[in-house]
Amino acid sequence: MPSSLRIIAIAGLCALLGACSLFKFPGVHRIEIQQGNIVTQEMVDQLKPGMTRRQVRFVMGTPLLEDTFNPNRWDYVNRVRDPKGDVTEKRFTAYFNGDILIATSGDWQPAGWP
C-alpha cells in the first residue's frame, strides 16, 4: 500500500508542476524575438533602378529566400514577436532582369522610384 501511495503522490506532484506552465506570472521578463532579415527604410532608400545583384546584396544583405523557380526574385522577410506574443511580419521583394534591379515591392518602398 505505501508504494501505491508514493506513486499517487509523485503523479500528483507532476500534475501540479505541469499546471505551473499554464499561468503567465506578471512581471516575468520576456524578450522580443526577431527572425529573418533586418530591413530598414534607410537601406531600401539606397536602392536605385539598374543596380546589380552584387550591389543590392551589399546594401540589403543576403536575401532570406532565393526562389528556385524564379531566380529573378529575392525576398527579404522580417518577423518580430513582442513580449506579449503578438507577431509582426514585414516583407520586401527585389525583382531583377538578369543581373539588373528593375522593381521592388513590399512594406518598404525606395524613395524616388516611379
Q: Which residues of the chain have pLDDT under 50?
A: none
pTM, full prediction: 0.70
DSSP assignments along 35-68, one per residue: EE----HHHHHT--TT-BHHHHHHHH-S-SEE-S
- Fold assignment, 32-106: Beta-lactamase Inhibitory Protein; Chain:B, domain 1 (3.30.1450)
Residue given cell 516575468 in the structure block: 28
Residues 6+ apart with CB under 8 A from 107: 90, 91, 92
Grouping H, G, I as helix, E, B as strand and the rest as coil, residue 109 is coil
Strand 33-36 to 65-66 pairing: unpaired
Give the residue extent of every domain in the chain: 32-106
User: Residue 113 has what pLDDT?
Assistant: 75
**Adjacent-strand bridge partners of 10:** none
User: Residue 4 has what pLDDT?
Assistant: 78
